[in-house]
Chains A and B, each alone.
Chain A
Amino acid sequence: MAGFDRRRIGLFAVRYGLFFALGAWVVAMSIASEHFLTWLNFLNVARQAAPIVIIAVGMTFVMATAGIDLSVGSLVALVSVLVVTFFGLGLPTEIVIPAVLALGLVSGLVNGYFVQLGLPPFVVTLAMLTTLRGIGFVVSDGYATPVRDDFVLWLGRGQIGPLHTPIVLAIVVAVIGGVVLGKTRFGLYSLAVGGREEAARAMGINVRGIKLAVYGAIGLLGALAGIVLTGRLGNGSPNAGIMLELEVIAATVLGGTSLFGGAATIAGTVAGALFINFVRNGLNLLGVNPFWVQVATGLILLLAVLLNTVVNRRITEWARVLRAEEPEPGP
């Protein structure tokens, strides 16, 4: 029984380890740097993390279905370019914003269409990654163009009460995502499709529809994040969002979402995104060479994936213990 309890503690530790690590890092940095534990700095980190959180909520659903979307960084770039191009054509805000959101949705649905045909998500979205950024370069001719639209600038830099607009958007997206994943059939079916697709299909779940929907959703969220980033940077650039998809995936995996599908939480994803950004922020405040920050992020991700696999192994071990306790003679 002692071993059993140790396993439960182990399970608890790996499940909530990220939250402890985030807390410990915040405490340690507060001691190490006088600039860390300030409202302004926290807002700064949250604002940095906001676009990541917005996309990572979508990535959580995609990875719950055992998929992945590598095209979101390129989508951000294309959206960014198209926003300034559309404004350049004299289109009004109320047309431009829905148009680029629709583009994101369509791009996601295209990914979803090929994935539900049975193509590997990695390859489908990798193809979309180069395609979308290529279109971004073609449309913009490689140039960044400033954006002057007040609404877009407000989305990226404005405030709602004491909070910046991107933070509010990220909170809204995360809350909706959390409710959908945790409380609705759609969330449950996403996990079921990723956990064991054949079982989900046998139980009458529309596996193809779920896949289309999760890729459509991350496309829509990617476009939203693209608008926010365009507003924050103040220009539309085909170089926006380079490697963004990797940061989003890192946040999601760090948050305990299984790479093999079936297990995912929005709270974990948000904590993962905050953790990456707090680490970067803390190291910056300490004056660490920013290139080392990339190294640190990489090592943290590696550690997270290690824990992710350890979780799986622990649960399997735990299962074996339960089975041994069962009074069934072996065959």
Chain B
Amino acid sequence: MTVPLIEMRNISKSFGAVVALRQVSLSIAAGEVVGLVGDNAAGKSTLMKILSGVYTPDAGEIMLDGRAQALATPMDARGAGIEMVYQDFALVPELSVTQNIFLGRELLQGGLRSKFVDKAKMRERATHWIERLGLRVPPVDTPVRATSGGQQQAVAIARATAFDARLVIMDEPTANLAAAAIEKVRAAIGRLRSHGVAVIVISHRIEDILETADRAIVLKHGAVVGERRIEDTRGDELVHMIVAGRDPRDAAAGGGDGDGAGAAADGGAGGSAPP
């Protein structure tokens, strides 16, 4: 078995007395699209914020290419090729499309002007990236506040995918979007997969997951309830797992670990083997 791109092992996180995550493990291969589903407060966002360097876990470790990787800050995560498309897009409304795409990673001029940002080069690249995504092009000098929700989503995706991302996390990518824009987001996810980029999609819309993902992982109360290959499940089964908070196939197997959990454990063991 090949080493997974990213593996999270036994991640736990508490905020004061509130336990947000208990012993959560998951692994994702390059070019795989994983849907992360669960009710509100299931721990999806906390788990992804740990992966994107916003929170540090209380316990557990994160392996990148089979090697332990500290993700103490968002810059660490971005440096490791982990990008996040936030639900609210995390764009600065007053700044231009280009400035937002390069925020935190500005290109600088050379020589004596090495402290100055290179506006011309950034403008050119931003235009190229947005066109490459096949998303509707807002002029890159437009302030983000003057663009539509779909365009802002495009900017956020362009920012997440421009810098050789290896894993892109999308938090509710289709919330607040019109139908045509949703199609474009799904197409963008497909394009990422074909380029070997792993994608984690957090969504309330089961049809998003069924449409785009290879695999779905269900969280409830901060723990993994179960997981399914998409071709092996149906929407109502996932909804049942989200609501009931347990895997119906566990009961069928007569207690103990169900298929899904067993498969996950196997995957973890394979990933931990020395290369």
Contact = CB atoms under 8 A, between A and B. Distances in A.
Interface of A: 179, 183-185, 188, 191-192, 194-196, 198-205, 258, 261-263, 315-316, 318-319, 322-323, 326-331
A202 B92 contact: no
Contacts of B74: 201-204
B205 to A, nearest CB: 13
B180 A322 contact: no
Nearest to A262: B94
B155 to A, nearest CB: 11
A192 B94 CA distance: 8
A200 B103 CA distance: 8
Contact of B103 (A192, A315, A316, A319): A192
A322 B177 CA distance: 16
B92 A322 contact: no
Given A200-B92, A203-B103, A329-B180, A323 B116 contact: no
Contact of B92 (A183, A196, A328): A196
B95 interface: yes
Contacts of A201: 74
Nearest to B159: A203
Contacts of A195: 92-95
A258 B90 CA distance: 20
Given A192-B103, A205-B103, 17 more contacts: A183-B115, A184-B115, A195-B93, A196-B93, A202-B52, A203-B74, A203-B90, A203-B104, A204-B74, A204-B75, A262-B92, A263-B94, A315-B143, A319-B148, A326-B148, A328-B150, A328-B180
Nearest to B116: A183
Interface in B148-175: 148-151
Contacts of B94: 191, 194-195, 258, 261-263
Given A195-B94, A199-B90, A202-B84, A185 B106 contact: yes
B10 interface: no
Given A184-B117, A322-B148, A323-B148, A202 B99 contact: no
Nearest to A317: B146
Please report whether the interface of chain B is mostly helix, strand, loop or mixed according to DSSP. Answer: loop
A263 B148 CA distance: 20
B117 A322 contact: no
B145 interface: yes
Interface in B25-83: 52, 54, 73-75, 78
B219 interface: no
Interface string B162-200: 000000000000000111110000000000000000000
Contacts of A263: 94
A326 B154 CA distance: 14
A211 to B, nearest CB: 16
B150 A326 contact: yes
Nearest to A331: B178
B93 A262 contact: yes
Nearest to B77: A204
A204 B106 CA distance: 12
13 contacts: A183-B116, A185-B106, A191-B95, A195-B92, A196-B90, A201-B74, A202-B74, A262-B92, A262-B93, A319-B148, A322-B148, A323-B149, A326-B150
CB-based closest 10 A-B pairs: A262-B94, A204-B75, A195-B92, A203-B104, A199-B90, A195-B94, A323-B148, A319-B146, A204-B74, A183-B116
Contacts of A262: 92-95
B179 A319 contact: no
A183 B117 contact: yes
Contacts of B145: 315-316, 319
Contacts of A329: 178-180
Contacts of A327: 180
B121 interface: no
B90 A198 contact: yes
B130 interface: no
